[in-house]
Amino acid sequence: MRVTGFPLFTSREIPADAEIISHQLMLRAGLIARLGAGLYTWLPLGLRVLRNVERVVREEMDRIGSLEVLMPAVQPAELWQESGRWEQYGPELLRLKDRHAREFCFGPTHEEVITDLVRREIHSYRQLPVTYYQIQTKFRDEIRPRFGVMRAREFLMKDAYSFHLDQASLEATYRAMHAAYSRIFQRLNLDFRAVRADTGAIGGSVSEEFHVLADSGEDAIAVCRHCNYAANTELAQSRPAPPRQEPQRAAQEQPTPDIRTVAEQAQMLGLTPDRIVKSIVVLADGKPAVLFLAGDDELNLTKARSALDAGEVRLAEPEEAQAATGVPRGFIGPKGLPEELTVRVDERAAAIPNFSSGSNRQDWHWIDLNWGRDAALPERADLRTVRSGEGCPSCAGSLQIKRGIEVGHVFQLGAKYSESMDARVLNEHGDQVPMIMGCYGIGVSRVVAAAIEQNHDERGIIWPTPLAPFQVAIVSINAHRSEAVHNEAERLHEALGAAGLEPLWDDREARPGVKFADMELIGIPHRLVISDRGLSAGTVEYRGRSEPTSRHLPCERVVEFLR
C-alpha cells in the first residue's frame, strides 16, 4: 500500500478529552474518529488492526469447533420479557419502538436470541453439545462512556454460547473455551491473566475474567507472586499474611494502595467485625443515602465514622434501607443495581455534609448491602477483599494487587435461560430436560485499546506483529528527485508485498522527519529507509520500532531478512 493511496489521519496534538494513552494514540494515529459519546468510526488504518484481532479470535473459535453465526443486533422485547431481563437490565439497555409501536432493544448481549434459536432447532440430546459464536456489534448505554473504544457504547464483541445435556459436558467446553482464550491473548502478545470472578447477580457456579494488565485498568485483581492464583479482589480470600523478610523493600515494590479487608472496614465503623459491610445505608435529615465503602476508600470510611459520631447521619434500619433503595437485602452487585439508583444514591451521598459522592464506582464489583446493625450474616461470609502482601489462599505466598482491563469473560450459566425460556431437549430416557448453558465473551474492539496500553512509547504505538496494520514501513527519501530511490522503493514494495509482509510505502513528498514521526506514531514494527546515500553503498537502512539503533542491509537481502 502507498500512503498517497492510503491517506493517514495522524495528528501531533494530544486530544484534550482523551484521558488514557491508548485513547490519545488511537485518535492521534488516525485509527478511530469520534462521532458522539461512546460512538467511534474505525478508519481504514484502525480497521486493519481490528480485523487482525477478529482473525485470531475466529481462528481459535473455529479450532475448538465453535460454529459462526450472525444474529440481529435488534432484538424483540418479548424475548427479554420471557427471560425477565426486560425489567432487570436497567438503562444500559437501549430500547426502541418500530413504526407499529412494537418494542425492541439493541442487543447488549445475545443470550435470549441464541436460546430462542436453539429451542427451535435443537430437540434431542443427540444434537448436543453445540457451541455458536458471532463477532458482532453490541450497544450498551454505558453511564460513563470513556477511554475511547475501551468503554464505548457501541462496540464489537465476540460472543459465544454453548448448550449441553449435563454439567460435565458444559465443563469440558468451558475448559476448551478457556484454553482458546489463553491462546488468543498469547497470540496477540498480550500480558494477561485469567482471574476468578464472581458470577454476580446472574448466578451460576463458575466464572473467570481475562484481564490485560495495565495501570490504567478499571479493575483491581489479586495476583499471587508465587503460584498462578489470580482473582478479582472482591472475590479473593486470603490466609494470614506470611512474615515479610524485607518489609521496606516490599513496600516500595507495591505502588498500588492496599485494599482494606471488609472486616477492617466494619471495625472502623464500629460495626460487628465479622459482618460483611461493603456499604451501609444511612439517614441524614431523614433522607436516605447509601455509602459505598469500596476497596481502599479510607477517606470515606473516616468520614463515615465521624459523621456517625457527630450525629450528622444515623444507620438506617433494614426496612428504611430497603424502602430507600428498593433493593431487597442480600448480595447485589453494582451491575445488578439499576443505574438510576446508583446515580440517585450518589447524589444523596453528595448532599450529606462531609461526604464525597463515590466517583470510583468503576472499582466496585460487589456491594454487600448490610441493612444496618441487625442484618443477618450473608451466606457468603467468606467473601472479603484482600490487600497487597496478604497470603495466597492457594499456596500462602504473598498476594499483589494489580490493575487489569477486562478483555474476556467465560461463564458457566447453568439452566437460567433455558428454564425461563423453556429450552428443553429429550434426554436418553425420553424426558424433557432444560439445556445447560455456558457463555463466553471477548471485547474485540477493547482488545485493540488494551494492546496499546501495553505497547507504546513517547513516540507512539508499538504494535505486536499479529496486530500491526502493516508489517513494514518503507520510507523513501527524495524519491521524487531520485529515480534510483524511487525504483528501489517500488521494487521492495512489490517484493515485500509478494512475500506477504504487508508493506506501507510512504511515497509522499514530505520531509523525512514527518514521515519517520508518522510511521513511529502508527507503530509499524519494521522500517526501511531508502536514500541515495544508502543505495550508493548498495544498502537500505533498517530499524525495528522498539530498537534504539539502525543497521544497514544489502538491498538484495531485505526480503529474506524480514521474512
| Amino acid, single-letter form, for residue 239 | R
Query: Helix, strand or coil for residue 117?
Result: helix
- Please give the residues from 208 up to 247 whose contact with ligand ATP meets the rule CB under 6 A: none
Which residues does 435 contact at the CB level (< 8 Å), separation at least 6? 118, 122, 128, 163, 164, 165, 415, 418, 423, 424, 425
Candidate segments 152-160, 161-169, 423-431, 461-469, binder of ligand ATP by CB under 6 A: 152-160
CB of 194 to Mg ion, least distance (A): 13
Q: Could you tell me the smallest distance in angstroms from the CB atom of residue 195 to ligand ATP?
A: 12
Q: How many residues bind ligand ATP (CB under 6 A)?
A: 15
Name which of Mg ion, ligand ATP, none residue 472 binds, using a CB cut-off of 5 to 8 Å depending on partner kind.
Answer: none
State how far Cα 302 lies from the chain centre.
Answer: 32
- For 283, phi then psi, to 5°, come to -115, 130
Q: What CA dihedral angle connects 416, 421, 426 and 428, to 10 degrees?
A: 0
3-state helix/strand/coil string of 462-519: CCCHHHCCCCEEEEECCCCCCHHHHHHHHHHHHHHHHCCCCEEEECCCCCHHHHHHHH
138/409 with CB nearer Mg ion? 409
CB of 262 to Mg ion, least distance (A): 20
Angle between helices 21-28 and 444-454 (to 10 degrees): 100
Residue 21: contacted member of Mg ion, ligand ATP, none (CB under 5 to 8 Å, by partner type): none
What's the one-letter identity of residue 157?
M
CB of 140 to Mg ion, least distance (A): 6
Which has the closest alpha carbon to 334: 30, 90, 62, 76? 90
The answer to whether 142 contacts ligand ATP (rule: CB under 6 A) is: yes
Q: 54: which 3 cell numbers?
A: 477478529
Judged by beta carbon, residue 211 or residue 508, the one nearer ligand ATP is 211
Of positions 409, 508, 527, 545, contacts Mg ion by CB under 5 A: 409
Among 31, 57, 152, 383, binds ligand ATP (CB under 6 A): 152
Give min distance, CB of 445 to Mg ion, in A: 14
Binding-site member from 406, 453, 506, 518 for ligand ATP (CB under 6 A):
406
Q: From Mg ion, ligand ATP, none, which one binds at residue 434 (CB under 5 to 8 Å depending on kind)?
A: none
Report whether 404 contacts 213 (CB < 8 A).
yes
Can residue 441 be called a binding residue for ligand ATP (CB under 6 A)?
A: yes
User: Is 408 a residue that touches ligand ATP (CB under 6 A)?
Assistant: yes
CB of 414 to ligand ATP, least distance (A): 17
When the beta carbons of 156 and 281 are compared against Mg ion, the nearer one is 156
Return the residues of window 65-124 that contact ligand ATP according to CB under 6 A.
109
The reply to whether 409 sits near ligand ATP by the rule CB under 6 A is yes
The smaller minimum CB distance to ligand ATP, of residues 297 and 406, is found at 406
Between 47 and 499, CB nearer to ligand ATP: 47
For ligand ATP, which stretch binds (CB under 6 A), given 64-72, 150-158, 276-284, 536-544?
Answer: 150-158
Nearer to Mg ion, 453 or 507 (CB): 453
> How is residue 389 annotated by DSSP?
T
Which residues neighbour 187 within 8 Å (Cβ) at sequence distance 6 or greater?
A: 56, 60, 466
Does 443 participate in binding ligand ATP (rule CB under 6 A)?
yes
> What is the rounded CA–CA span in Å between residue 72 and residue 137?
9
Question: How far apart (Å, rounded) are the C-alpha atoms in residues 342 and 358?
Answer: 9
3-state secondary structure 33-75: EEEECCEEEECHHHHHHHHHHHHHHHHHHHHCCCEECCCCCEE
What torsion, rounded to 10 degrees, do the Cα atoms 47, 51, 57, 63 define?
170
Among the candidate windows 3-11, 148-156, 367-375, 409-417, which touches Mg ion by CB under 5 A?
409-417
C-alpha–C-alpha distance, residues 415 and 433, integer Å: 10
Cα separation of 425 and 434, whole Å?
Answer: 6
Helices (H), 411-443: 416-420
Does 446 engage in binding with Mg ion (CB under 5 A)? no
Residue 193 interacting entry, from ligand ATP, Mg ion, none, C-beta within 5 to 8 Å by type = none
Residue 446 interacts with ligand ATP (CB under 6 A): yes or no: yes
* Binding window for Mg ion (CB under 5 A); candidates: 171-179, 378-386, 401-409, 528-536: 401-409
Stretch that binds ligand ATP, among 179-187, 232-240, 404-412, 548-556 (CB under 6 A): 404-412
Q: Which residue is nearest to ligand ATP (CB)?
A: 443
202 binds ligand ATP (CB under 6 A): no
The neighbouring-strand residues paired with 232 are 221
Q: Which of 151, 260, 275, 387 binds ligand ATP (CB under 6 A)?
A: 151
Q: What is the DSSP string of 329-380?
A: SEEE-TTTS-HHHHHHHHHHHHHSTT------GGG-S-EEEE-STTPPPPS-
Give the residue with the Cβ less far from ligand ATP, 152 or 528: 152
Q: Are 504 and 44 in contact (CB under 8 A)?
A: no
In the list Mg ion, ligand ATP, none, the entry touching 408 (Cβ below 5 to 8 angstroms by class) is: ligand ATP
Single residue of 93, 113, 157, 277 touching ligand ATP by CB under 6 A: 157
Shortest reach from residue 251's CB to ligand ATP, in Å: 30
Nearer to ligand ATP, 40 or 229 (CB): 40
The reply on whether position 138 binds Mg ion by CB under 5 A is no
Stretch that binds Mg ion, among 121-129, 175-183, 243-251, 408-416 (CB under 5 A): 408-416
The number of helices, as runs of H, and strands, as runs of E, in the chain is 17, 28
Whether 355 contacts 349, CB under 8 Å = yes
CB-closest chain residue to Mg ion: 409
* Interface with ligand ATP, residue 361, by CB under 6 A: no
Q: Amino acid identity, residue 4?
A: T
Cα 66 to its chain centre, rounded Å, is 22
Residues at the interface with ligand ATP (CB under 6 A)? 109, 140, 142, 151-152, 155, 157, 406-409, 441, 443, 445-446
Residues at the interface with Mg ion (CB under 5 A)? 406, 409
